[in-house]
Structure 1
Amino acid sequence: MDDARHDRESLLAVTTPAFEPPLGLRSTLMQTILATKRPARRLWARRGIDLVPLSTSHVLDCGDGVRLTGMLTPHASSRGLVVLIHGWEGSHESSYLYSMASALHREGYAVFRLNLRDHAGTHALNEQMFHSARIGEVLGAIRAARQLDASNDLFVIGFSLGGNFALRVGLYGPENGVHPKLSIGISPAIHPRHTLEAIDAGPKLFHGYFLEKWRLTMELKSQAWPGRYDFSTHRPLRNFVELTRRFVEDYTEYETLEDYFERYTLTPAMLVNAASPLAVITAVDDSVIPIQDFDGLRATGSVLAYDRLLRGGHCGFIEDWALNAWTEPRVIELLRCAA
């Protein structure tokens, strides 16, 4: 067996990777907070990498009149284009996304950091509100990003809700002209009802954080489209399941919450039988994404790797006091394996 084949088979066999942060970094709370609060740009600047002057902002025509924005960081000798998708209420500037982009660019990849609808201050760009079933416009955005950078191979990586989108790109992309060599979901929210229930039942800190983010989005959307939206009956609600139900009934094309959830709920069977290769990285101690949602998933079929870590929190996976993320070298390893 040659070394390349041996390396590939070793990667595919891993289900409990070696990730053991020091004692002070092991808590779910610490890992989750550091995912969004570590100073990624400053940390990477110390290593001589600053994406800001290397990147250009773009407004993408995603079809059907929809426009999304993002930041392209090209590479002179690109090994491929990686499209990164942030989590709910994140953006191209989110710490976890910026850090992953920096790690990938250092390894020779062109990177496009995509902003979902109504994120990164784009509430005035499209009249209809963002919701999580809008996979068509994300596929359109990736097709448009490919027009900007035609690097040979395409990879898609998403975090949390963005991880759900990334996995759906792997599922539905090939039939829509998008052909990723690998799509990776990091802490992917594959069962939306369970995620909302976990937020409602979880730590008050996380619940309050997400609630304030949602209320700000309602305010910004109302300001961007005067007279179009009235969230007066939504704002008093504190339960995320009920808040989402009200939003779905009032401002989406779906008649029921169950209808809406069905559009972006993913199962292990769906992932294993996807139309293109996938990988999943998640943590048992994630208080937002129940690990039970992944029961039965393993590295087989279209799932090239399933990394089920005991620790890592939600999108954290911080492995040392230098605030390095274990997911970054792991993702680079997976991309090399898939190329």
Structure 2
Amino acid sequence: MLSSSGVRRSLLPRSAYKVLEGAEPVMVDGGEGVRLTGAYTAQKTQPASRGLAVLFHGWEGSVDSTYVLQTGSRLLDDGWDIFRLNFRDHGESHSLNEALFHSCRLDEVVHAMGDIARRWPSRSLALAGFSLGGNFALRVAMKAPEAGIPLSYALAVCPIIDPSEGLFSLEESAPWFYQAYFMNKWRHSLRAKQAAFPHREYFELQELKQNLRGLTEALVLRHTDFGSLQAYLDGYSVAGSALANMQIPTTILTARDDPVIPVDAFEKLELPSNVELDISPYGGHCGFIRGWDMTSFCDDYIAARFNAIAHAAA
């Protein structure tokens, strides 16, 4: 709860927002006319940059989510240039692309990563994502070699592994306020999308009153070619052996007490030797808060692994 709360924002030290200083708003190419937004911040602490760190937010988050800013600021201090990417329909970008965001829009994110890598070449390109962004990070890392993206390393924090299990968990076993929080943000986002393209009918008003599963299914059937909710959920699953052929060095960090993503899905993963699975006893969902200053253990964790990759490249 604390991870995304206003309480945390007010208690965090000013250094957690350093990545905002001198940040350059950027439009990136998602391919086939798709435009995605982001923000680039160049490091100023080292004579030469350690590399480029790309950060993916979670579902209904943005480049300005607290966890993204805090991680970006920590890496900036260590000499990394930072690129924070918004997914389609996130971060006030609803008017850029007429079609709705959904979690299987992987190709545009891979294309955007390629555009970022070309425009800001670096000796090390590292990627970190949180929750749904962690799921995207794992899938981008799988696609990176064939797409010609020089990705050095990927790290996924509390990523969605089996979406069908995660959707059920958020509805049935997670505390009620988790679903209420996400549904409130999602409904607000859908209304913003409708306002941006009034000639389109993205949803019927009664559909907005449904629960997470019902609204997801309605939008999948209305706006995608998957044919069923289960086919859509399978479309972005990384469960079982889906990551067995991962070529990029990768770390997956999660917490056993995460109420949103069941730990069972992580324990069933079939992973190659270059993929590290780290399950912490505590941490919640993308929280890992250390103390009353509201800073996260996750920042040091990501920085240590990114810095090791940069050191090896040097």
Which of residues 277, 282, 289 is equivalent to 1:311? Answer: 282
Taking structure 1 as the reference length, the TM-score comes to: 0.85
Which of residues 123, 129, 149 is equivalent to 1:152? Answer: 123
Partner amino acid, structure 1, of 2:228: T
Q: Does 1:260 align with 2:220?
A: no
Which of residues 190, 205, 215 is equivalent to 1:243? Answer: 215
Aligned to 2:264: 292
TM-superposed deviation, 1:44: 4.2
Aligned to 1:85: 56
Contact 1:35 1:315 in 2 (8 A): no
Contact 1:91 1:119 in 2 (8 A): yes
Deviation by residue 1:255-303 (Cα, 9 ceiling, x = unmatched): 2212211211002433243121111000111111000111144875230
Contact 1:78 1:108 in 2 (8 A): yes
Deviation by residue 1:209-251 (Cα, 9 ceiling, x = unmatched): 111111111111110001202422411212x122211110001
Aligned to 1:190: 161
Partner amino acid, structure 2, of 1:33: L
Partner amino acid, structure 1, of 2:209: P
Distance 1:337 1:42 in 2: 30
Q: Does 1:111 align with 2:109?
A: no
Which of residues 134, 152, 170 is equivalent to 2:141? Answer: 170
With over 3 angstroms needed to count, the CA separation of the structure-2 counterparts of 1:128 and 1:299, relative to structure 1, is: closer
Partner amino acid, structure 2, of 1:226: P
Aligned to 2:241: 269
TM-superposed deviation, 1:328: 1.0
Contact 2:57 2:133 in 1 (8 A): yes
Distance 1:252 1:273 in 2: 28
Aligned to 1:139: 110
Aligned to 1:43: 12
Contact 2:241 2:270 in 1 (8 A): no
Contact 2:117 2:150 in 1 (8 A): no
Partner amino acid, structure 1, of 2:195: Q
Distance 2:19 2:11 in 1: 11
TM-superposed deviation, 1:143: 1.4
Distance 1:335 1:308 in 2: 19
Aligned to 1:10: none
Distance 2:241 2:161 in 1: 12
Q: Does 1:302 align with 2:270?
A: no
Aligned to 2:306: 335
Distance 2:270 2:231 in 1: 28
Which of residues 6, 10, 20 is equivalent to 1:52? Answer: 20
3-state SS, counterpart of residue 271 of structure 1: coil
With over 3 angstroms needed to count, the CA separation of the structure-2 counterparts of 1:185 and 1:265, relative to structure 1, is: same
Q: Which moved more, 1:264-273 or 1:200-209?
A: 264-273
Distance 2:7 2:243 in 1: 31
Taking structure 2 as the reference length, the TM-score comes to: 0.92
Which of residues 26, 30, 55 is equivalent to 1:62? Answer: 30
Flag structure 1 segments of 5+ consecutive residues without an equivalent: 1-31
Aligned to 2:185: 213
Distance 1:166 1:253 in 2: 24
Q: Does 1:33 align with 2:6?
A: no
With over 3 angstroms needed to count, the CA separation of the structure-2 counterparts of 1:221 and 1:35, relative to structure 1, is: closer
TM-superposed deviation, 1:207: 1.2
Aligned to 2:194: 222
Q: Which has the higher contact order (CA 8 A, sep 6+)?
A: 1
